[in-house]
Amino acid sequence: EYWQRHLYFNAGWFFHHSPKAFGERFSAWAKSICDDPPDALICQELFPWLDQITLPLVIHSFGGGRPGPELAALDGTATCHYRTLPLLYARESDDAVAVLEEVARDKTIRPTLRDWEAMKAMVYQNQGRKARALFDRDRLPHREQVIRNTLKREGFWLR
């Protein structure tokens, strides 16, 4: 079976005109699947896969599906997909870093974010800015491994 036949949202990115409506439906359906799984899921482990079971169903229920060519690339003007905070600081746009740092200043979520060691070091202790200064984003190495090795050598590699 061809794997791309099935929708899979690894990074969890999607768009909808009403985050409230989407969130309410997602929450209700995920709870329903968890509390009373359909026969096809009786023997299926739901954790950590509940979001991957529910998300395509909710997207389809609102008439959505695979993104068109205007959103074919995950990384772009509307999204920033990163694997580690050090890589985000090394590679991503000034706007992406500014948004991260602005969101991290929000007093309602800051205590939770500070519990994440990488966030604490990279954002709150300004290690991310120091790591960023090691690279010229207009002339980044073509291979990510070179960036990773530089971050590791300089003591900025955190997960």
Digit-coded pLDDT (tens) for 47-66: 888 888 898 899 889 988 77
Q: Is the peptide bond before 19 cis (omega within 30 degrees of 0)?
A: no
Q: What is the dihedral of CA 102, 100, 54, 1, to 10 degrees?
A: 160
pLDDT at 35 over 90: yes
What Rg, from alpha-carbon coordinates, does the chain have? 19
The pLDDT of residue 17: 83
Most confidently modeled range among 4-8, 12-16, 106-110: 106-110
Tens digit of pLDDT for each residue in 114-149?
999 999 999 999 999 999 999 999 999 999 999 999
